[in-house]
Structure 1
Amino acid sequence: MESLRERKKRRTRDALLHAALDLFTSQGYEQTTVDEIADAVEVSQRTFFRYFAGKEEAAFAVQVIAEAHFIRAVRERPPCEPPLEALRQAVLEGWGTVNEAIASVVPVEMYLRMFRVIESTPTLLAAHLRRSVEAEEALARLLAEREGVDVETDPRPRLLVAVFGAVIRVTGRAWSSDGDLSVAAIRDLTRTYLDLVGPELIGSWRRD
């Protein structure tokens, strides 16, 4: 059980995160200062840096929650599912279950609007691509462990994750440029784009 002090710290962090995303999505990432975020919560700049290393960490904080949720969902998929199907179901079902985790911090709509901010802000897009490489490596190693293959000698885990990651990035870019920024819209678009992935990676990799 959280102590009173821990609850207070969590509330302060959540308030700072909410204020940061609200400002990023309303006036732009580059145009927002740490002082403005802190002022919106009526705390000092020093307090902001107690919770976040900088604006970039705040910009991606909710995405970290979503990514952790997805990794956990992949890990929990039935072992009989082929790798691509496990990724597909984890992400499609994840859009339905991640809401609760995100909504406990910020409105889901605000998180989704951050996609557009990331796509339109060069520094954030570069950071997003860098983070994607790190996340894909972790996911490739998870798939290799799940399938009983060696990620260092078998190229399929990294290849599949690279293809899957590219589909998700293209999906996010198309979705963020559309008018419908709903969870249902991005889930439907994700399903449509994943259906375009060819058969070479779809089947089971197991030899038994």
Structure 2
Amino acid sequence: MTTAEPTGLRARKKQRTRDALVRVALELFTTQGYERTTVDEIADTVEVSQRTFFRYFASKEEVAFAVQEILEAHYAVALRARPAEEGPLEALRNAVFAAWDAIGEAVEEIVPLDLYMRSFQMIESTPALLAAYLRRSTVTEEALAALIAEREGLDVNTDPRPRVAVAAFSGVMRATGRLWGQGADPSIEAIRSLTETFLDHLGPALAQNWRDGEQGSPHGP
């Protein structure tokens, strides 16, 4: 007669298997390419069956974005925690940097930080994944707009401002991610610095007339 495995131990073993699948998948994706990597290859490397892989992930695409999903959840928590007196764009911005302050620990529970950063670049350079990323971003932006509307006491379906603010902010984040992915420095410090610089110019870029002030200045003359 066998002794039943404790629930906590089973949960930890499942988490370890899931984390191993993510880690191996990202390593294979970033070294040999997303398209060339198969589910069987990921499963074989972790020494589990294909059936086990599909218990955790519906597809290669889902495992490619597994860490990203965790970070998006961290960001939503950070945004909800911003003080009520912060304006929408200020809250969106501060939540990014608050979330990034904890990104290392959150990511490294699953994969090495440098592997995650390389996987981010891999997504930017893989057409199928970039299309999926943009599709997923639409869903994320809707959730953020609803969160901003809730913060401000607005109806997201009748007041366009939450969606406009999130669209502008998300556009900056996509632009910095793309430029960082094309650069030579894959560090989180590099993308953080680039993002901060671009967000500093979000307000001036939305000003009515760019020609009134000095180029790049956040204020008028």
Confirm whether residue 118 of structure 1 aligns to residue 119 of structure 2. Answer: no
Q: Does 2:165 match 1:160?
A: yes
Pair 1:10-2:15 in alignment: yes
Specify every segment of 5 or more residues in structure 2 that has no aligned partner in the other structure, as ranges: 1-5, 208-221
Aligned to 2:65, what secondary structure does the other structure show? helix
Cα pair 1:35 1:45 within 8 Å, conserved: yes
Measured in 1, the distance between the counterparts of 2:127 and 2:184 equals 22
Alpha-carbon distance in 1 for matches of 2:151, 2:206: 16
Q: Within 1, Cα distance between the matches of 2:203 and 2:86?
A: 17
| CA pair 119-200 structure 1, distance change in 2 beyond 3 A | closer
Check 1:200–1:178 CA distance in 2 against 1; reply closer, same or farther (3 A cut). closer
Larger Rg: 2
Query: Is 1:63 matched with 2:59?
Result: no
Structure 2 partner of 1:192: 197
Residue 200 of structure 1: CA displacement?
8.7
Segments of 4+ in structure 1 off by > 4 A?
A: 199-202
Residue deviations 1:140-184 (CA, integer Å, cap 9, x gap): 000000011111111110001001111000000011111111111
What code does the residue aligned with 1:192 have? T
Structure 1, unaligned runs of 5 or more: 203-208
Percent pairwise identity:
63
Q: Deviation of residue 2 (structure 1)?
A: 6.3
Q: TM-score, normalised by structure 2?
A: 0.88
SS of aligned partner of 1:53: coil
Q: Is the 8 A contact 1:38 1:48 kept in 2?
A: yes
Separation (CA, whole Å) in 2 of partners of 1:172 and 1:127 = 15
- State how many pairs are aligned: 202
The two structures have a TM-score, normalised by structure 1, of 0.93
Partner of 1:27: 32
1:93 Cα offset (Å): 2.4
Q: Deviations over 1:43-88 (max 9, x none)?
A: 1111111111010000000000000000110000011011101111
Matches of 2:102 and 2:115 in 1, distance apart? 17
Relative contact order, CA 8 A, sep 6+: which one is greater? Answer: 1
CA distance in 2, matches of 1:199, 1:86: 18
RMSD: 1.6
* Residue 108 of structure 1: how far off its partner (Å): 1.4
Between the aligned partners of 2:87 and 2:161, the Cα distance in structure 1 is 12
